[in-house]
Structure 1
Amino acid sequence: MKKKIKKTKSIKLNYIYNVSYQILTLITPLITAPYLSRVLKVEGIGIYSYTASIVTYFVMFAALGTINYGNREISYLQNDRQNRSIVFWEIEFLSIGSVLCCLAAYSFFILFINHKYTSLFLVQAFTIITVATDISWLLQGMEEFGKIVSRNVVFKILNILFIFIFVKSPNDLLIYVGGLCLLELASNLSIWFYVPQYINRPNFKQLHPIRHLKPTIALFIPTIASTIYINLDKTMLNEITGSPIENGYYEQAFKIYKVALSVVTALGTVMLPRIGKCFSEGKTNEVKKLLYKSYRFIWLIGCPMCCGLIGVSRNFCPWFFGHGYDKVPYILMIQSVLLIIVGLSNVTGVQYLITTKREYLLTRSVCIGAIANFIMNLILIPKFYSYGAAVASVLSELLITIMQFYFVRNEIDLKSVLKSSHKYIIASLTMLIFLLLEDNYLPINFVGTVILVISGCAVYLLMLIVLKDEMLKELIP
């Protein structure tokens, strides 16, 4: 009976769960951003953005490729508790080993490299420790997204309360960073209560963690490249401009973009275990069918969110972040294009190449994209500062997406993928024109933004109804 339940889990419901999970993960900075932008000021936000970008490199090495790898491997063993338990403990012990190595390197970094932000770096060591405690990949592989969400809600509420109670001035930056790190650690530890439902106790004689090292490194390399060029923008902005203020602009726009992106790419986390299960069972046609649905979904969600951010950013950002963040709306407009580009590469790279065990193609595309991003940052940041960093990200991500499409050109009908976009592009551009015209007559405040969002959604949905879109009918119960 249990096997049937596993086979019939709703992709739509799991997508809703995962969107909720991703949004809740990022919703705290959004809820608290107006408050923090006024309390910590643009310089404080920029300092945190810079130090966090450095720490992220160590976190990246600590994590290896265990998140996507663990998700995939558990998805292959949804109906095999014994082998699932062995794989789980092997991956987890491998993760603990990598975290210990990275903590040693991080200690060297703090002790022997002189920094004016040493106290912030010390506190953020807990961020590295959280990697070993993060086993969300177990529940993702089992397609149990509801349990991840329920755990996340509690800790995000605690996070919000902590910020409003304890962060009162620019001098509280260290308290703010320390609270974020400790709450994240507690959140990860809480998910361990679910482990006995799916995993047996470890039999150390059966465990061989090192056998997972090579495949995790295969997934780790694209993670390195991806993380580097995402954080490289922030690191290079600070190093080239010599001011944390440009980082502050970029960080605030990036927060909004990341929330929107989480909605677009959340389907990838849901589809990876489902596609992995079909692939392990040899259902090639079912894999292709799911992929085409994923591409169409990216067009359905990505196009309106891209145009929507462009249309509302000038109204939204001034009242949301307060004075001193004049560049943010325009950086956000540039980054909004990434919602479509990254969404498409997420389907090709994560849902298809990883699932079909061709990580080397993903690695190749992302590494070239990272190199291109570094070169473009060197060219664009000195001239255009945070605008240049945003443009460099768009161009490098576009290069990655084009390369991945080229790799799968003989397996996936790219004309069909592109052709499925036309209704969503027409509807989204119509919405954008409406929003730009409407924005001229609305006040720059919360009410004005709400009116823009509601009217934009209404125009987009109305256009899809007029165009008789089939996917919209499938999503609406």
Structure 2
Amino acid sequence: MIFFEVNDRSISIDKMNNFIKKLVGFSVGPVIGAMITFITIPLTTHFINPSEYGKASIFLLLQTIVGTFLYLGVDQAYTREYHSIQNKKHLFQNAILIPLMLAFLIFIVILLFLSDISLLLFGDEKFKIATILFGIMIIVMVVERFILLSLRMQEKALEYSLLTILTKLSILIFTLIFIFLLRRDFLAIVYSAIIGQLLADLYLIIRYRTLFKYKEFSINKKLLKRMVLFGLPILIATSISSLLNSLDRLALRAWSDFYEIGIFTATLKIAGVLSIIQLSFTSFWTPTAYRWYDQKKDIKYFKLVSDGILLCMSLIFMFIVGFKDLIVYILSPEYSDARYIVAFLCLQPIIYTVSETTSLGIVFSRKTYLSIWVGVVAVVPNFIINLLLVPKLGALGAAIATSVSYICFFIARTYFSSKNGMSFSVVNHYIVLTILFFTAIANAYLQSYLTLTNSLIFVILIILQASTIKKIFDLYKSEKFKVKNKEKISV
């Protein structure tokens, strides 16, 4: 059977279908994970008051901060080197070596200073078992990170998603056990998170144990040096980014109370549903973007993806804003103040996701040190606004600081990328993000005509992005036309 191509320059229908299939595959886990999160959040917030929830959030925050330093940026270097190294197992074992050694070192320190670490994590020296479990979790976090990265780079979308679901489901099951059978304080959240994560990661280690067979292992000093040099600037940038993501709760801890921390963190969990969408996209987009770059794809394809993601994320934002009052019913009446800050906190994952499509010039050029300046540009206004607003506005002030800093983050990331070979028009991006920010302000302060205001903003966003909708529709039509013509002229 012979097929005559209608247009050699157009994207083939097979490639387009494969593109969509992988995107959907990577999205299955995050979407189901989001559903599990929606079950977990009201379970905890209905039975655990905001102050106790605030205490648990500080522990989870410290876990995130430790994870930031743990990888030393080598995890990002692993994805950068993946398509350049033929022996993937050799690359995996060299990449995981340094972070794993560091994790064991931290665990030893925890054992040596058990009481002090318990006091730091939980505010009391008596929680030693939980502290030891925390140390074990740090080790398995490293293993989980590199196994999942390996699956991402192999573009095993469905397998990656199923493993993500397993972790979320494990945590949910232990949350149910602790809340309904054992206790209803902040330790219920802590224990369910630790034990659920450990069991899911144990399954992961057993399933992919062949990756850890070091019979033919050899240290590649040249490769390690290259990955460390690539990763260290990312480590600094990630540390700044971690500070950026932590300053809100640290500021609330310093200048407010556990109630405000609880409200802020619970709302952040709702916004975290968007973060799961962000994760599903980046899990798919990172290997795809690298492959396109190696194939020297025209920049118009990168721009189309960027415009499409901007459209999708802005529409999701408006959907959440329109139904924000439901958050009160999801969380419980004790968390009613969440309605005023949810729009601001949703901007964080939205802006980050869009920036993943406008900042590729930084990683493609290997100038990862630029990410340090991106972080600085974002952290400075974050600190200043938190300092000015948190003492007066509490969680609302912290939410405003977070959204403003992420707008600065997007501007800096996009600017440095455009200066390093990845330049396309982002004027519409700036206009849309500005509108979303003022929408968040309106939903925090307007009491009347809010539905009308949101409806008008929705229409404006559709008009502004009409060209993107047309391009996507035209692409779909051209592919459909191409398939019909293949069927007609096949022999």
Q: Distance in 1 between matches of 2:195 and 2:476?
A: 38
**SS of residue in 1 equivalent to 2:369:** helix
Q: Distance in 2 between matches of 1:122 and 1:193?
A: 22
Q: Is 1:308 matched with 2:358?
A: no
Give TM-score, length-normalised by structure 2: 0.78
Decide whether aligned partners of structure 1 residues 332 and 398 sit closer, same or farther in structure 2, where only a CA change above 3 A counts. Answer: same
Aligned to 1:184: 197
Q: Distance in 2 between matches of 1:73 and 1:275?
A: 14
Residue 200 of structure 1: CA displacement? 7.4
Q: After superposition, where does 1:168-207 map in structure 2 within 5 Å? A: 168=180, 171-192=184-205, 195=208, 202-207=215-220
Decide whether aligned partners of structure 1 residues 472 and 39 sit closer, same or farther in structure 2, where only a CA change above 3 A counts. Answer: farther
Q: What do residues 437-473 of structure 1 show as CA deviations (whole Å, max 9, x unaligned)?
A: 7969xxxxxxxxxxx9xxx999999998999633256
What is the letter of the counterpart of residue 178 of structure 1?
Answer: Y
Q: Is 1:254 matched with 2:268?
A: yes
Q: Distance in 2 between matches of 1:195 and 1:247?
A: 39
Q: After superposition, where does 1:21-170 map in structure 2 within 5 Å? A: 21-77=29-85, 80=86, 83-107=87-111, 110-112=114-116, 114-115=119-120, 116-118=123-125, 119=127, 121-134=131-144, 135-168=147-180
The answer to whether the 8 A contact 1:74-1:142 is kept is no
Q: What do residues 172-221 of structure 1 show as CA deviations (whole Å, max 9, x unaligned)?
A: 54244223212222323333456478897552335447423332222222
Q: Distance in 2 between matches of 1:466 and 1:348?
A: 18
Q: Distance in 2 between matches of 1:180 and 1:359?
A: 33
Q: Distance in 2 between matches of 1:12 and 1:183?
A: 32
Stretch of structure 1 that moved more, 397-406 or 372-381: 372-381
Residue 49 of structure 1: CA displacement? 0.6
Q: Is 1:358 matched with 2:373?
A: no
Q: Is 1:299 matched with 2:297?
A: no
Aligned to 2:392: 383
Q: Distance in 1 between matches of 2:75 and 2:156?
A: 15
Residue 306 of structure 1: CA displacement? 1.6
The answer to whether the 8 A contact 1:39-1:170 is kept is no
**SS of residue in 1 equivalent to 2:336:** coil
Aligned to 1:3: none
Q: Distance in 2 between matches of 1:289 and 1:194?
A: 40
Q: After superposition, where does 1:219-234 map in structure 2 within 5 Å? A: 219-234=234-249
Decide whether aligned partners of structure 1 residues 251 and 468 sit closer, same or farther in structure 2, where only a CA change above 3 A counts. Answer: closer
Q: Distance in 1 between matches of 2:220 and 2:206?
A: 22
Q: Distance in 2 between matches of 1:25 and 1:143?
A: 19
Aligned to 2:19: 11
Residue 372 of structure 1: CA displacement? 3.1
Decide whether aligned partners of structure 1 residues 302 and 247 sit closer, same or farther in structure 2, where only a CA change above 3 A counts. Answer: same
**SS of residue in 2 equivalent to 1:313:** coil
- Please provide the CA RMSD for this pair: 3.9
Q: What do residues 354-384 of structure 1 show as CA deviations (whole Å, max 9, x unaligned)?
A: 2432211122211332233223222221121
Residue 239 of structure 1: CA displacement? 2.4
The answer to whether the 8 A contact 1:85-1:202 is kept is no
The answer to whether the 8 A contact 1:369-1:399 is kept is yes
**SS of residue in 1 equivalent to 2:334:** coil
Q: What do residues 79-111 of structure 1 show as CA deviations (whole Å, max 9, x unaligned)?
A: x3xx22211100111221121233345556753
Decide whether aligned partners of structure 1 residues 394 and 155 sit closer, same or farther in structure 2, where only a CA change above 3 A counts. Answer: closer
Structure whose CA Rg is larger: 2
Give TM-score, length-normalised by structure 1: 0.80
Q: What do residues 123-155 of structure 1 show as CA deviations (whole Å, max 9, x unaligned)?
A: 433431222221200011111121111223344
Q: Distance in 2 between matches of 1:220 and 1:226?
A: 9
The answer to whether the 8 A contact 1:65-1:216 is kept is yes
Q: Distance in 2 between matches of 1:130 and 1:21?
A: 20
The answer to whether the 8 A contact 2:54-2:259 is kept is yes
**SS of residue in 2 equivalent to 1:102:** helix
**SS of residue in 1 equivalent to 2:333:** coil
**SS of residue in 1 equivalent to 2:365:** coil
Aligned to 1:343: 353
The answer to whether the 8 A contact 1:376-1:392 is kept is yes
Q: Is 1:395 matched with 2:404?
A: yes
The answer to whether the 8 A contact 1:381-1:389 is kept is yes
Q: Distance in 1 between matches of 2:476 and 2:105?
A: 46
Q: After superposition, where does 1:204-219 map in structure 2 within 5 Å? A: 204-208=217-221, 210-211=224-225, 212-219=227-234
The answer to whether the 8 A contact 1:53-1:232 is kept is no
Aligned to 2:485: none
Stretch of structure 1 that moved more, 219-228 or 13-22: 13-22
What is the letter of the counterpart of residue 268 of structure 1?
Answer: T
Aligned to 2:281: 267
Aligned to 1:237: 252
Q: After superposition, where does 1:315-330 map in structure 2 within 5 Å? A: 316-330=326-340
Q: After superposition, where does 1:430-445 map in structure 2 within 5 Å? A: none
Decide whether aligned partners of structure 1 residues 138 and 42 sit closer, same or farther in structure 2, where only a CA change above 3 A counts. Answer: same
The answer to whether the 8 A contact 2:52-2:185 is kept is no
**SS of residue in 2 equivalent to 1:358:** coil
Q: Distance in 1 between matches of 2:433 and 2:396?
A: 28
What is the letter of the counterpart of residue 59 of structure 2?
Answer: T
Structure 1 residue runs of 5 or longer lacking an equivalent are 1-5, 441-451
**SS of residue in 2 equivalent to 1:359:** coil
Structure 2 residue runs of 5 or longer lacking an equivalent are 1-13, 481-491
Residue 292 of structure 1: CA displacement? 0.9
The answer to whether the 8 A contact 1:264-1:343 is kept is yes
What is the letter of the counterpart of residue 98 of structure 1?
Answer: L
Q: Distance in 2 between matches of 1:61 and 1:239?
A: 23
Percent identity of the aligned residues?
Answer: 17
